[in-house]
Amino acid sequence: MAHNFEHTPTPREVADLQVRELDSICVNESELVHPWWYNLKYTAWGVLFGIVFVKAEIISWFRIQEMFRFESFHMYGVIGTAVIVGLISVQLIKRSRVRTIYGEEIHIPKKEFNKGQIYGGLLFGLGWAVTGACPGPLFAQMGAGYSVIIVTFVSAWLGTYVYGVFRDKLPH
């Protein structure tokens, strides 16, 4: 279990972190406690993100069809460029040992392999081609005024819930 507690964590803190770490993708145990409005940094970036999602037509069902039919480079260009920029950034961060703006050491949790990445991945792929949306674009489609996507969103939420309920019974 990776964490960056700077004090000896209490059993309760460890248990809480372990639950959140179950196949998680965004767990960081920061010592810092900030007022809620510090989170607006993420909202601000999210706003730009949402604009890009719409303007580059990433939330378009049509663009996803083109991608899976191999008839357009657009989505491959978007994802490929994003990975290259992300890769260079992560390398620079690791090598320079730069810290966060609050002086914390930067920590990227390691992803452990389990068979869920295959079974779940295939299932998500099937859903992605039908809905034309991954979770991010679902939010953007609702924001862009496609009100019926509320139904898709509620179904996705329910899907996550059902996974949580049956998690122990599924092969991982």
Between the alpha carbon of residue 97 and those of residues 3, 7, 92, the distances in Å are: 17, 21, 8
Q: Which is nearer to other proteins, 8 or 55 (CB)?
A: 55
5 near other proteins, rule: CB under 8 A:
no
Taking residues 143 to 162 in sequence order and writing x for each that binds other proteins by CB under 8 A, - otherwise, the string is xxxxxxx-xxxxxxxxxxxx
Q: What angle do CA 154, 148, 24 make, to 5 degrees?
A: 30
Binding test (CB under 8 A) with other proteins, winner from 2, 14, 45, 169: 45
Q: How far is the CB of 31 from other proteins (least distance, A)?
A: 10
Q: How far is the CB of 12 from other proteins (least distance, A)?
A: 10
The one-letter code for the residue type at 48 is L
* Total of chain residues touching other proteins, rule CB under 8 A: 130
Question: Could you tell me if 64 and 129 are in contact, meaning their C-beta atoms sit under 8 angstroms apart?
Answer: yes
Long-range contacts of the stretch 136-140 (C-beta < 8 A, 24+): 136/49, 136/53, 137/53, 137/58, 137/59, 139/50, 140/50, 140/53, 140/54, 140/58, 140/59
Q: How far is the CB of 150 from other proteins (least distance, A)?
A: 9
Q: Which is nearer to other proteins, 8 or 151 (CB)?
A: 151
2 near other proteins, rule: CB under 8 A:
no
The rounded distance, in Å, linking the Cα atoms of 32 and 84 is: 31
Considering only residues 81-140, where is the footprint of other proteins by CB under 8 A? 81-87, 89-90, 92-93, 98, 100-102, 104, 106-114, 116-136, 138-140
